[in-house]
Amino acid sequence: MKIQKPVYYGDYLQLPKILNAQDTESAKYGKPAHDETLFIIIHQTYELWFKQILHELDSIREIMQKPFVPSVDLSVVNARLERVTTIQGILVDQIKVMETMTSLDFMEFRDFLVPASGFQSLQFRLVEATLGIKAHNRMEIEKQFFTSRLKLEDRNKLEETENKVSILELLEAWLSRMPFSEFDGFDFWGAYSDAVDKMLNQDREIISNNPALDEKIRVMELKNLEMTRETFATLLDADRFAAWRNEGKVRLSQKAMLSAVFIFLYRDYPALQMPFKILNSLIEVDENFTTWRYRHAMMVQRILGTKIGTGGSSGHEYLKSTTERNRTFLDLFNLATFLIPKSAIPKLPEAVRSQLDIVYDSSRS
């Protein structure tokens, strides 16, 4: 038996490397700026957490690439997604530490950093690409800055990751394989459509007969109701949904969206509890990055005002624009559009309910 050598704390964590990796640019020009050390440590910490997030996402992608994902693996996927969301909470909270630095503090060393910027955070771009934000999903300014600001080796690595299957694409394939709502002798979507019609007709009756509504408001609400009816109809019509997708209004396929709606409606059944948790965790991942981008944009405006960023972007205006633009799982957020009251959800036949106790994936052999 091989004798294990003793491990020393500082050596194991390679602390000499880490704690001596804060070389300030300002000191090189004979003007050491006190807050530059904070600035470096904050961003180094971000990059360490990005590395951990990538580690989790890569493992999730590996699991979800299997032709059949057993329930035990689904639990692992969700646990790792929950770890990512916990880390994201730290990323958001860390902005408070950055905000202890004032505009005047930052201006003491800002010019020494040009043209370095967050544009050049390769790891964060890899996180986005792994989740499902590819080059064609980005704003034109992002594409230009990536081309001009990233080193060739980093551009190649980003392109390599963008060419791999993303978690969004794997999610679509996983949802599309599910047999939920496809049962012999039971037309679930017909029953769902009837329930939707009943709900919308009741809403029309309430709006039409509400004496408190001004006539202009009544007309507007009735028009909005008809738009809602069209949205439901599009979900259930293959051709209309395909047109929707071609227009970029949705990224998931119709089959994947229908499976997701079914999961949300019947999430209390054993077979659907873990799939629901995974969808909910992906929503939280997207929401947390949106929150982080927004808080980051507000922090930049607080410190820089309307000045351009060190990388040449429009500063906080650009960052705010990415808050809504760079969202991977917007389709999952919009599932709420297609939900109906619990009391109106079609009751499943006994044979179907018994299947939901055991069925997770139609590819199982």
pLDDT, tens digit, 9 for 90 and up, residues 205-264: 999 999 988 999 999 999 999 999 999 999 999 999 999 999 999 999 999 999 999 999
Does residue 265 sit within a domain?
Answer: yes
Does residue 166 sit within a domain?
Answer: yes
| Count of structural domains, the chain | 1
Residue closest to 282 by CA, chosen among 331, 329, 323: 329
**pLDDT of the residue at 71:** 85
Does residue 41 sit within a domain?
Answer: yes
**pLDDT of the residue at 142:** 62
Residue closest to 313 by CA, chosen among 296, 337, 327: 296
CA 173 to chain centre: 17
**pLDDT of the residue at 157:** 94
C-alpha 180/C-alpha 249 separation (Å) is 24
Does residue 9 sit within a domain?
Answer: no
The C-alpha angle 226, 228, 229, rounded to 5 degrees, equals 65
**pLDDT of the residue at 303:** 85
**pLDDT of the residue at 355:** 80
Is the entire prediction scored with pTM above 0.85? yes
Does residue 20 sit within a domain?
Answer: no
When the pLDDT of each residue in the chain is averaged and rounded to a whole number, the result is 89
Per residue in 13-31, pLDDT tens? 999 999 999 999 999 999 8
Does residue 50 sit within a domain?
Answer: yes
Does residue 68 sit within a domain?
Answer: yes
Residue closest to 315 by CA, chosen among 119, 126, 41: 119
**pLDDT of the residue at 312:** 45
Using CA atoms of 129, 131, 132, 136 in order, give the dihedral in degrees to the nearest 10: -30
Percent of the chain topping pLDDT 90 = 71
Instruction: Report the CATH number that the domain containing residue 173 is assigned in CATH.
Output: 1.20.58.480
**pLDDT of the residue at 2:** 82
DSSP string of 196-265, one letter each residue: HHHHHHHHHHHHHT-TTS-HHHHHHHHHHHHHHHHHHHHHH-HHHHHHHHHTTS--S-HHHHHHHHHHHH
For the chain, which residues score pLDDT lower than 50? Answer: 309-314, 365
Q: Hey, what are 295's tokens?
A: 């808080």
Does residue 78 sit within a domain?
Answer: yes
**pLDDT of the residue at 163:** 95
Tokens 């692992």 sit on residue: 76
Domain residue limits at 185:
26-355
